[in-house]
Chains A and B, each alone.
Chain A
Amino acid sequence: GQNIDQPTEMTATEGAIVQINCTYQTSGFNGLFWYQQHAGEAPTFLSYNVLDGLEEKGRFSSFLSRSKGYSYLLLKELQMKDSASYLCAVVDSNYQLIWGAGTKLIIKP
């Protein structure tokens, strides 16, 4: 079967750095997405990785290791507005998105 694993919930402090991990076992791999979803709202795109390595975009970075079936999302200089769920999704061999259950990130002052 196909499986995406993420921690259910994480807590971090405003101004700090947090790393949200995602491991996957899927039938094929054609890329990995990270989405942000605030409570009661729609998911919005954060990043896409298809090659190994780190992609940096402002305060957010995403890393991928295809050999390890592993990705992480790194959030720096945390702000209260970063409190949200972060969804990891993998594009499988049929170009379907397989979604993780999401990680709820709580930011404390």
Chain B
Amino acid sequence: DAGITQSPRHKVTETGTPVTLRCHQTENHRYMYWYRQDPGHGLRLIHYSYGVKDTDKGEVSDGYSVSRSKTEDFLLTLESATSSQTSVYFCAISEAGESYNEQFFGPGTRLTVL
């Protein structure tokens, strides 16, 4: 299995509080992604990174920010959490961003915003 960990694995927080989720990889893959998964929806891309300090927005980026200061770490921040951000968040990595870009997923973080 690809070496990807996410922390925390579960979190309950209150509306309006900031939350940071961490993704850590030991594979030295260039690309890292943050998705959210909700019932009835496919995985939706929030942000992705194609290198240290190189990030871009995905389909559902509003209310989220990211940072990547090291190859191995990709942080997702909810500046002021809302109930609509209750979801399961998956981090993924891939070696190449084009062509055959199989992604390997972390175990997920279940976030509940009350």
Cβ of A60: which chain B residues have Cβ within 8 Å of it? Answer: none
CB distance B41 to A48 under 8 Å? no
CA distance A91 to B102 in the complex (A): 10
Give chain B nearest CB distance to A19 CB in angstroms: 20
CB distance B40 to A101 under 8 Å? yes
Looking at A41, A43, A102, the one whose CB has the most chain B CB atoms below 10 A away is A43
CB distance A101 to B103 under 8 Å? no
- Is A106's CB within 8 Å of the partner chain B? no
CB distance B42 to A43 under 8 Å? no
CB contact under 8 A between A4 and B90, given known A31-B99, A43-B105, A45-B102: no
CB distance B105 to A97 under 8 Å? no
Give chain A nearest CB distance to B98 CB in angstroms: 5
CA distance A98 to B90 in the complex (A): 15
Give chain A nearest CB distance to B18 CB in angstroms: 25
CB distance A95 to B97 under 8 Å? yes
CB contact under 8 A between A42 and B108, given known A31-B100, A48-B102: yes
B98 to chain A: closest residue by CB: A95
Give chain A nearest CB distance to B11 CB in angstroms: 16
- The interface size of chain B toward A, counting residues with CB under 8 Å, comes to 20
Cβ of B103: which chain A residues have Cβ within 8 Å of it? Answer: 45, 97
Cβ of A43: which chain B residues have Cβ within 8 Å of it? Answer: 43, 90, 105
Cβ of B42: which chain A residues have Cβ within 8 Å of it? Answer: 4, 87, 89, 98-102
Cβ of B98: which chain A residues have Cβ within 8 Å of it? Answer: 30, 95
CB proximity to A under 8 Å, residues B54-83: 58
CB distance A42 to B90 under 8 Å? yes
CB contact under 8 A between A42 and B106, given known A30-B99, A91-B101: yes
CB distance A97 to B45 under 8 Å? yes
Give chain A nearest CB distance to B95 CB in angstroms: 13
CB distance B45 to A96 under 8 Å? yes
Looking at B42, B45, B105, B106, the one whose CB has the most chain A CB atoms below 10 A away is B42
Q: Give me 4 other A-B pairs in contact (C-beta within 8 A), A31-B100, A95-B98, A99-B44 excluded.
A: A31-B99, A43-B43, A97-B43, A101-B42
